[in-house]
Chain A
Amino acid sequence: MSGARPPALAALAAVVLAAGLALVLAIAAGRVQSVRVAAAEAEGRMAAALWEEAGGAQSGARAVGGLLGERATILGAGDGGDRAGAYAYEAGALDPAAWIAVEPHGADGLPGTLPGGALAIALAGAALVAGWAARRRRGPVSSRYPRGIALLSLGCVALAAAIAGRWADGELRSLSAATAARGAQAVELALAGGADPARAARVAHLPWAEDGALEATSEQWTMPAGVAAAIAASPDRAGQPAGAPYTVEADGATWHVAHAADVHLAFLGYERTASPALALAAAAALAALLVALALHLVQLAPRPRALRRMLAAWGLLAPAATLILAFTLGPLLFSLWISLHEWRLIDPAPLFLGLDNYAALLADGEWGSAIGNTALFTLHVPAAMAVALALALLTRGSRRAMRWARLALFLPGITSVAAIAVVWKWLLSDRYGLLNRGLERVGLDSVPWLTSPDTALVSLMMIGIWMVVGYQIVVFQAGLAAIPRDWYDAARVDGAGPWQRFRHVTLPGLRHTLFFVLVTSVIGSFQVFGLVYVMTEGGPLGATDVAVYHIYREAWEFLQFGNAAAMSWMLFAVVFAATWLHFRFLDTRRAHG
């Protein structure tokens, strides 16, 4: 079995490790670069506001030059958009429209600014693994797993990621401080130009407050109360000269603060809003996984058949595994992470809350009623199953007729939910709906199917039954056909009547089918959305507000992603518990015979 060892494979581990380290460094450098551009954008905004405040092309250009010096270029109205590495902002609608292009900080020296330590570790790690691979090539063939080397590579990647993260953090901090300082400078220029403090403060486009308002924040100031209090309490406040940035801790984040005269400006640090920590951790994990895989392949190299089998297996699995990792397992963990935060799309950075979202949801009556409505709606599943089972039993054996009936039976379940919802809304419409017209024709009162909180959910359950019952009939017929005929004959010989045959032969024979249909239908029913979205929008008075619709509104109407993620995990827990209970129920039934 000690066949030829492809020497190229031995170097694979080293190459993969080097690539992983390069990925980690590239992510850190890329994030810092994008924040440099964002900081230049912020400066461009300040310059444009200052230009407008100065009120005139001449004085405007002078003010912009005073703020940004050489880094700012003022362009004509036409040729603003396409400057590389710069940001263009349209200045005022009154003056001749002009664009201000700002050169980002440190755009030229990107490779030089990469952390030397991370580079050194990356090189040393790659050299070590390469050396090990080369030595193996000469040494005796061994199938021992190279744990030491694997751990070493892992350590290299983790260390490089940590150092790159620290470096990126430092860079982002200094960019944040520079932005705060630039804001203070812009305000100072505006004050020097004779603007009153409130107008001048707005030039910086940053949260601000005046000295006097720090202790008693009023709505007029845009600075969050917590930050104002932190600045008021900060020991740095008195000693700092105008325009020199310092930091305060407030609302669980670091704010960079600078002041001009008695206007204080605060800036939520880039190290929080654009932290590369998550991306770096993901990249490091990916790199470590790839290194372990490469080492495994190297270890298999002496056994070409095993190697080929392994490569074939992973080659075939790769597309599905990658997609499941990227779009199911990864998002699953991500959603758990989101649920621990106050995560609103409009916020610059999510705020870590721990389990607060969950605690709040436990006391949230609307969410509780959404879960209750979902559970009630789910009662249509056993009802539909009973109807379907009865119909399947009564029409048992009519195979020819079934072939013709299938389209009608299946169509409600497989076709467009939106179209179904619309036609049912028309059928159940209060005055002109077919059902109410029929009721009136035979002399009965019409029913407010979808417009009364008492009936709306029941109406939806009716439609739910109509949608699944045909499909269930077909499934049950298939299940019935699979029950051996001998069982019935044996039961008949034992003198069992129709009921007893149903109870002791049909039901046990269908047990798997029933269980399967129950579990899948319940899981499906917990996720009902289309009917509610089109027909009732959760109304009237929240009577049909089901879980998924509630989550949809929480996330995409109120933009409370953290809260919505916590809701979805609670729904998951309920579905999981329901399935688990079914299993348990089934097991005990089996245990008791």
Chain B
Amino acid sequence: MADRAVAPRTARGLLLAAACLVMAAPFAWMALTSLMGQLEVFAGGGLLPRTPRWSNYPEALTVQPFGRYFLNSLVFATAVAAGQVATSTTAGYAFARLDFPGRDGLFMLFLSTMMVPAVVVLIPRFLMIEALGWIDTYQGLISTELVSVWGIFLMRQYFRTVPRELEDAARVDGAGRVRIFWSVALPLAKPAVATLGLFAFVDAWKNLLWPLLVTRSMEMRVVEVGIAAFHSTYEINWPYQMAAGVAAVLPIALLFLFTQRYFVRGIQLEGIR
């Protein structure tokens, strides 16, 4: 058997466990600190909270309107995911299956924009949103993020693996191009759609810079900006900050737990081609 057994089974397991421990330790410390008293953290006692102070959570999450932040993040990330799925599937299908003049040139043009660091378009995007009067609105937050070239690429690759025979059968039945896309190709692409949607959602959820620029009021803040602002306001109240941090990490961790095969698929599609 090739190079499978570089290390014996138990050693492999232990190594992996150690790596996981290092990865998880900061999160564990975050959770433990979130249950300590405000002065207890400076007393230099043990690692465990003396008595778990659960009231840190309701207190920390209400001294600033975190409920509103979570709602905003949810609206932002959901809209971005839905928009990216819509634009990527349509464009990906056109690039994968339709013949039209200039297709390959246009695809290369799209791909080349992946090289552009986001910060280059940040200033003009901000000025445009400001000129439109969309600062501090959902449309200002969302509109620039609705398309992802990575998503178009992903969907194009996926649609190319769909057997042509299925589409040809539909065409014999007299279905048009758009009809075939909607009722044959798209249902087959559900796994790729799920992957794209999840990545778009997570990327939007952890986007800090853009919401920081286009939101001003507390009512429009997203969780990321909320955590950053909370940090500068409650600088030394670590338990409150950690409670807010746990609340911010938990939704994504749960999402990952239930959908991890789509994440892994996305990573595999990304890493090897």
Contact = CB atoms under 8 A, between A and B. Distances in A.
Contacts, number: 305
A555 interface: yes
Interface in B189-231: 202, 205-206, 208-209, 212-213, 223-225, 227-228, 231
A547 B208 CA distance: 16
Given A412-B23, A561-B127, A572 B117 contact: yes
Nearest to A408: B20
B176 A320 contact: no
Given A417-B224, A426-B241, A338 B113 contact: no
B2 A512 contact: no
A432 B42 contact: yes
Interface string A576-587: 100100000000
A406 B30 CA distance: 19
B238 to A, nearest CB: 5
Interface stretch (A176-184, A255-263, A394-402): A394-402
Given A324-B147, A419-B245, A475-B267, A414 B256 contact: yes
A415 B206 contact: yes
Q: How large is the interface on A (under 10, 10 to 19, 20 to 34, 35 or more residues)?
A: 35 or more
Contact of B3 (A474, A479, A488, A548): A488
B135 to A, nearest CB: 12
A478 B272 contact: yes
A418 B212 CA distance: 12
B94 interface: yes
Interface stretch (B50-58, B118-126, B162-170): B118-126
Contact of A320 (B87, B118, B144, B212): B87
Interface stretch (A79-87, A233-241, A306-314): A306-314
Nearest to A489: B2
A314 B206 CA distance: 33
A415 B252 contact: yes
A30 interface: no
Contact of B91 (A321, A334, A396, A571): A321
A399 to B, nearest CB: 11
Contact of A523 (B5, B99, B117, B244): B117
Interface in A21-77: none
Nearest to B129: A327
Nearest to A513: B271
A315 B228 contact: no
A473 interface: yes
Interface in A500-532: 501, 506, 512-513, 516-517, 520, 523, 526-527, 529-530
Given A317-B91, A415-B249, A466 B117 contact: no
A323 interface: yes
Given A316-B93, A471-B267, A475-B267, A423 B23 contact: no
Given A434-B29, A530-B209, A479 B115 contact: no
Contact of B116 (A309, A332, A421): A332
Contacts of A317: 90-91, 94-95, 106
Interface in B116-159: 116-128, 143-144, 146-147, 149, 152
A338 B121 CA distance: 11
Interface string A460-478: 0000001001110111101
A406 B257 CA distance: 9
Given A324-B149, A407-B253, A533-B208, A332 B121 contact: yes
B117 to A, nearest CB: 5
Interface stretch (A130-138, A156-164, A562-570): A562-570
A416 B248 contact: yes
SS of B interface (majority): helix
A401 B100 CA distance: 48
B253 A411 contact: yes
Most buried by A among B98, B117, B143, B248: B117
B206 to A, nearest CB: 5
Contact of B12 (A330, A395, A474, A579): A395
A352 interface: no
Contacts of B113: 324, 328-329, 332
A315 B12 CA distance: 53
Contact of B119 (A416, A437, A568): A568
Interface string B69-93: 0000000000000000011101101
Contacts of B231: 418, 421-422, 425, 534
Nearest to A501: B3
9 contacts: A308-B177, A313-B177, A316-B91, A319-B87, A407-B253, A418-B224, A478-B268, A512-B272, A523-B115
Interface of A: 308-310, 312-317, 319-321, 323-324, 327-332, 334-335, 338, 391, 393-398, 401-402, 405-412, 414-427, 432, 434, 437, 466, 469-471, 473-476, 478-479, 482, 485, 488-489, 492, 498, 501, 506, 512-513, 516-517, 520, 523, 526-527, 529-530, 533-534, 547-548, 551-552, 555-556, 561, 564-565, 568-569, 571-572, 575-576, 579
Interface of B: 2-7, 9, 12-13, 15-17, 19-24, 26-27, 29-30, 33, 41-42, 44, 86-88, 90-91, 93-95, 98-100, 103, 106, 109-110, 113, 115-128, 143-144, 146-147, 149, 152, 176-178, 181, 202, 205-206, 208-209, 212-213, 223-225, 227-228, 231, 238, 241-242, 244-246, 248-249, 252-253, 256-257, 260, 263-264, 267-268, 270-273
3 closest residue pairs by CB, A with B: A331-B124, A320-B91, A312-B177
Given A397-B5, A411-B27, 11 more contacts: A309-B100, A320-B91, A331-B124, A335-B123, A407-B253, A407-B260, A416-B223, A434-B29, A466-B22, A469-B23, A489-B2
